[in-house]
Amino acid sequence: MTFTRRQTLGALGAAAALPALATGLTACGSSGEGDGKSLRILQYEDPTSAQGEAWKRALELFQEKHPDVEVDFQQTSFDAVRQNAKITLAGNDVPDVIEFNKGNADGGQLAAQGLLSPLTDVVTERGWDQKVGESMRSFAQYEDGMAGSGDWYGIPNIGEYVTLFLNEDLLAEHGVSADFTDLDALEAGMDALLAAGITPIASSAATSQGFNQMWIWYSLVCASASREEIDDFMFVRGPVDFSSGAWKEGTERFQAWIERGYVGTGISGLNFEQATVNFLSGKAAMVMWNHGVFHRAISEADFAWSWITMPGAHLVMGSSGHLWGVPERAKNKELAYDWIDITLSPEIQDLIGEKGGLPIAGDPATITDERIRAYTEGFVQLMDDNELSYYPDYPVVGFLDFIQEHMQKMSNGNETAAQFLDALQTFYDEGTAR
């Protein structure tokens, strides 16, 4: 089933680009010595994002509940946590709460090395398992570093999913209907755009943050993949043969898209920000991304736009968001649990939704903006129907760098679908000890 939510947006005028994640420190206090009088939170959400706005209110609620507690709210970056989490959490001066990336390559490693506290008992006591649904908890639980079962080590607050964002004005100008029923219809529309000299999809293939090609490739795999195929791959539940099935079909189609020019040319040095700008400036008719482009388009697009999931797809790329965790060496764990509890409260979850995030325990009906409500309802439907296929770099340590390297090779024409799948098989089997 393909879920579609289409909302046309008129021009709202251009705005400044969304700022990058800050790497400085915003502090309200200092770390404590386990006396219940201080709480240190290390996180990397943009302060202007839906989560960032919600955390401001969550801090107010926490201070109302704990007026004598000093809170050290630290702002870092996603890359900094990925690169330094092991060193940070193995030290003597650790945060009480940390935001970390889900998946075997990140959260699984931290859990397996004993750097995160198991939260299973707390989850049950505080009822978090009633708020984090089945499809959202897959990467909150780890056993021997592998996601999908075992103890809870992280708690998500939001979800995310990947769609095609469409410049409806540009499509209409060249006689292309935005109502794509399946991949064949999408390709026919892209052929018409190419004939008019328009790049169909803005993309990027740099080996650092050139994520678009990876997301297009994996979305094409998921278009024909079964739940079993994806779960075997993601949770290492069974042997994966990358030379057959959806992996072969999706990757060969991806190579054809590159060769036909659907994703543009000369993209090997572009990152996702440049691809986003190419879409928002009208240089390409579409871009594949998550809520980041959704919010950018609201403030920056001067054309009518909409969004759809990959036409005809069985599964849609997406999952829960990043996770709150409590380091094993944290000094004020009870306060950490209170903080997490507040971020899952109805007030904060609904605020995330109102600000345009995708809350996992919120009520979309409370969202006043029709466009944001529709986008959130799309995610809720996919979540409830268990049709999210996660992200391809989760299962194996080093997978993100590996995939991006090969996305660049394929985009340059230096590697075929068969060659990539051979390399993928070797890397995955070695990484999962198969």
Q: Please check whether residues 134 and 204 belong to one and the same domain.
A: no
Q: Please check whether residues 151 and 61 belong to one and the same domain.
A: yes
Q: Please check whether residues 286 and 137 belong to one and the same domain.
A: no
Q: Please check whether residues 149 and 182 belong to one and the same domain.
A: no
pLDDT in the model for residue 410: 98
Any alpha helices (H) in 344-416, and if so which ranges?
346-354, 370-384, 399-411
Contact 152, 141 (CB under 8 A): yes
Any domain includes 387: no
pLDDT in the model for residue 32: 42
Q: What are phi and psi of 211, to 5 degrees?
A: -75, -20
Q: Please check whether residues 304 and 409 belong to one and the same domain.
A: yes
Any domain includes 23: no
Alpha-carbon distance 172 to 346, whole Å?
Answer: 41
Q: Please check whether residues 289 and 175 belong to one and the same domain.
A: yes
The alpha-carbon radius of gyration of the chain (Å, integer) is 21
100's CB contacts (< 8 A; 6+ apart) are 81, 85, 106, 107, 110, 116, 154, 322, 323, 325
Contact 52, 20 (CB under 8 A): no
Q: Please check whether residues 183 and 194 belong to one and the same domain.
A: yes
Number of domains in the chain: 2
| Structural domain containing residue 78 | 38-160+320-380
pLDDT in the model for residue 18: 27
pLDDT in tens, 98-137: 999 998 889 999 999 999 999 999 999 999 999 998 889 9
CB atoms within 10 A of CB 67: 7
Q: What is the CATH number of the domain that holds 103?
A: 3.40.190.10
Residues of the chain with confidence (pLDDT) below 70: 1-33, 434
Longest dimension (CA), the chain: 69
pLDDT in the model for residue 282: 97
Predicted model pTM: 0.84
Alpha-carbon distance 45 to 314, whole Å?
Answer: 31
Contact 325, 110 (CB under 8 A): yes
pLDDT in the model for residue 17: 29
Any domain includes 28: no
Strands of 118-256, DSSP E: 141-143, 146-147, 151-152, 155-156, 159-161, 163-167, 199-202
pLDDT in the model for residue 434: 59
Any domain includes 26: no
pLDDT in tens, 270-302: 999 999 999 999 999 999 999 889 989 999 999
Q: Please check whether residues 147 and 175 belong to one and the same domain.
A: no
Place of tokens 């599964």: 315
Q: Please check whether residues 101 and 225 belong to one and the same domain.
A: no
pLDDT in the model for residue 6: 29
pLDDT in the model for residue 1: 29
Beta-strand relationship, 199-202 and 284-289? parallel
Any domain includes 22: no
Any domain includes 298: yes
Question: What residue type is 116 in one-letter code?
Answer: L
Alpha-carbon distance 205 to 412, whole Å?
Answer: 9
Any domain includes 31: no
pLDDT in tens, 74-104: 999 988 998 899 999 999 899 999 999 998 8
Q: Please check whether residues 173 and 244 belong to one and the same domain.
A: yes
Any domain includes 341: yes
Any alpha helices (H) in 291-398, and if so which ranges?
291-300, 333-343, 346-354, 370-384
Token couple for 172:
């209409």
Q: Please check whether residues 191 and 334 belong to one and the same domain.
A: no
DSSP 393: T
Q: Please check whether residues 267 and 352 belong to one and the same domain.
A: no
